[in-house]
């Protein structure tokens, strides 16, 4: 059997890994590459394989960098089933339509810019109709049920503890070529222990091969418990200055976890209870509705907690729907919290809030998630003095606070423990990490286990 990474090799977005076994082709994830608009459009329009030849897709979770290129795959001829968990299926219903909307608006914006030149108008990568059509191919399964996806390959989804519905994909394979039974585990994005709302990652007890993410392969996060006090401190500081807090957040999971944390802080009287909290992202609002429907995926403690006080219905929370309501926030006077998407600040309403608030030193920008290279979010995190938004330069005078303890990704200690927990590993293939993170992780794996560690390179096939 062979494995080739066609995305998220030596980088963190565009997850796509092709498994070839028993004369069949199985694609693990089909994510969008995110970065410079032009580069992203080119990379996402092209596959390193023929989509018509793919027999099935298995999707680890609903984040767009893992699921967002499925409509393009279908446009280019894939006509099999996309297997995922039930919650991922519900989430993709809203995530892919939102992504289509972003593709359409981006193409329109680029075409407008081209209208004064001889350049051709830009076609969206896919449109709403393509996304709606793609959603018909999805088939959701419960966690912990085993089913066949292609000849000789049985899949079981286990909880990844990363976002609602996220799975560690366990593939039990009978390889006809050498007659052997093999277990390949695809980590998807591995979560952290003790994250609020969802359950902790499931530990797979044995496997032959592990295809593992390495986003934070060489970094440790502050403990998850430190997130809330740090958040309270920046909120109170900003209130004192009379400023606003702008929080870019992934619509899926991070926004809901933030609401949960804010709710706890209000309940424990660590922050004032009269501070308006705006969730200004139509997508985050729809995802929050899906969270309300999947109570069975919450951990036990939260289930009890939510019975007495529910963060999704707290009176301080205002869910902003229309563009007009969002624009009104520009004129809001006094402290407030605005949570908005996209998480890496490359699209969506967050760009408007940053543009309107970055230049005022009273305000704070609170970073709670991963920012990939070449994104607006990364430029803010790395301390740029000014950033370009909608072709205009804005000086960053607001306080920028990075709260890594809110990360939904395993850090190096979590990753080490995860690898050590799987017995019998022969080979670990690292993906979904920039080289400064995956290289030291590979070295540590070889030092602490008998497995060989390989960093996957784009389009290079390895034999398993």
Residues binding Zn ion (CB under 5 A): 63, 189
Q: Which is nearer to Zn ion, 189 or 257 (CB)?
A: 189
* φ, ψ of residue 180 in degrees (nearest 5): -100, 150
Q: Which is nearer to Zn ion, 359 or 434 (CB)?
A: 434
Count the Cβ atoms, other than its own, within 10 Å of residue 111.
15
- Give the shortest CB-162-to-Zn ion separation in angstroms: 6
* Structure-token pair, residue 422: 């799987």
Q: Which is nearer to Zn ion, 83 or 250 (CB)?
A: 250
Cα gap 388→168, rounded to integer Å: 38
Cα gap 449→212, rounded to integer Å: 15
Q: Which is nearer to Zn ion, 89 or 189 (CB)?
A: 189
- Give the shortest CB-371-to-Zn ion separation in angstroms: 14
- Give the shortest CB-444-to-Zn ion separation in angstroms: 23
* Intra-chain end-to-end CA distance of the chain, in Å: 5
* HEC secondary structure over 46-110: CCCCCHHHCCEEECCCCCHHHHCCHHHHHHCCCCCEEEEEHHHHHHHHHHHHHHHHHHHHHHHHH
- Give the shortest CB-164-to-Zn ion separation in angstroms: 11
Q: Which is nearer to Zn ion, 6 or 353 (CB)?
A: 6
- Give the shortest CB-348-to-Zn ion separation in angstroms: 17
The DSSP secondary structure of 208-255, one letter per residue, reads SEEEEE-TTTT--PPPGGGHHHHHHHHHHHHHHHT--EEEE--TTTHH
- Give the shortest CB-63-to-Zn ion separation in angstroms: 4
Q: Are 31 and 8 in contact (CB under 8 A)?
A: yes
Q: Which is nearer to Zn ion, 82 or 122 (CB)?
A: 82
- Give the shortest CB-61-to-Zn ion separation in angstroms: 6
Q: Are 345 and 374 in contact (CB under 8 A)?
A: no
Q: Which is nearer to Zn ion, 10 or 59 (CB)?
A: 59
Q: Is 359 left (phi over 0), alpha (psi -120 to 50) or beta?
A: alpha
Q: Which is nearer to Zn ion, 235 or 372 (CB)?
A: 372
- Give the shortest CB-102-to-Zn ion separation in angstroms: 17
Buried/exposed 217-252: b ≥16 CB within 10 Å, e otherwise: bbbebeeeeebbebbbebbeebbeeebbbbbbbbbb
Cα gap 56→79, rounded to integer Å: 8
């Amino acid at each position: 059997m062979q494995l080739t990474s066609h995305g998220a090799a030596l980088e963190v977005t565009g997850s796509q890994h092709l498994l070839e076994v028993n004369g069949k082709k199985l694609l693990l994830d089909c994510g969008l590459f995110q970065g410079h608009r032009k580069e992203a459009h080119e990379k996402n329009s092209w596959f390193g394989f023929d989509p018509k030849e793919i027999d099935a897709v298995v999707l680890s979770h609903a984040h767009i960098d893992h699921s967002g290129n499925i409509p393009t795959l279908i446009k280019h001829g894939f006509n099999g089933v996309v297997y995922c968990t039930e919650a991922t299926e519900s989430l993709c219903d809203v995530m892919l339509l939102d992504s289509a909307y972003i593709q359409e608006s981006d193409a329109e914006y680029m075409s407008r810019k081209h209208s004064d030149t001889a350049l051709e108008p830009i076609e969206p990568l896919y449109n709403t109709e393509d996304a709606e059509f793609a959603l018909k191919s999805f088939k959701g399964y419960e966690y912990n049920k085993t089913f066949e996806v292609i000849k000789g390959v049985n899949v079981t989804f286990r909880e990844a503890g990363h976002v609602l519905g996220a799975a560690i994909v366990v593939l039990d394979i009978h390889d006809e070529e050498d007659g052997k039974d093999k277990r390949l585990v695809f980590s998807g994005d591995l979560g952290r222990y003790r994250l609020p709302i969802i359950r902790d990652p499931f530990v797979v007890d044995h496997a032959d091969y592990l295809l593992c993410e390495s986003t934070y392969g060489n970094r440790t996060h502050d403990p998850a418990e430190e997130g809330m006090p740090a958040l309270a401190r920046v909120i109170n500081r900003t209130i004192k200055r009379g400023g606003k807090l702008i929080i870019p957040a992934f619509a899926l999971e991070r926004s809901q976890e933030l609401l949960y944390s804010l709710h706890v802080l209000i309940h424990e009287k660590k922050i004032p209870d009269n501070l308006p909290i705006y969730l200004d992202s139509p997508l985050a609002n729809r995802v929050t509705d899906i969270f309300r429907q999947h109570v069975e995926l919450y951990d036990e403690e939260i289930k009890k907690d939510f019975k007495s006080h529910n963060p999704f219905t707290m009176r301080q929370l205002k869910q902003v729907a229309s563009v007009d309501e969002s624009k009104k926030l520009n004129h809001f006077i006094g402290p407030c919290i605005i949570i908005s998407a996209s998480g890496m600040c490359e699209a969506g309403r967050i760009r408007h809030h940053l543009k309107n608030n970055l230049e005022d030193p009273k305000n704070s920008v609170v970073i709670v998630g991963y920012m990939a290279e070449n994104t607006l979010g990364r430029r803010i995190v790395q301390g740029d003095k000014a950033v370009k938004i909608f072709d205009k330069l804005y000086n960053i005078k607001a306080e920028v606070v990075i709260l890594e303890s809110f990360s939904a990704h395993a850090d190096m200690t979590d990753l080490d423990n995860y690898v050590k927990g799987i017995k019998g590993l022969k080979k670990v293939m690292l993906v979904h990490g920039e080289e400064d993170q995956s290289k030291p992780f590979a070295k540590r794996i070889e030092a602490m286990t008998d497995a060989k560690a390989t960093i996957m390179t784009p389009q290079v096939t390895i034999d398993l």
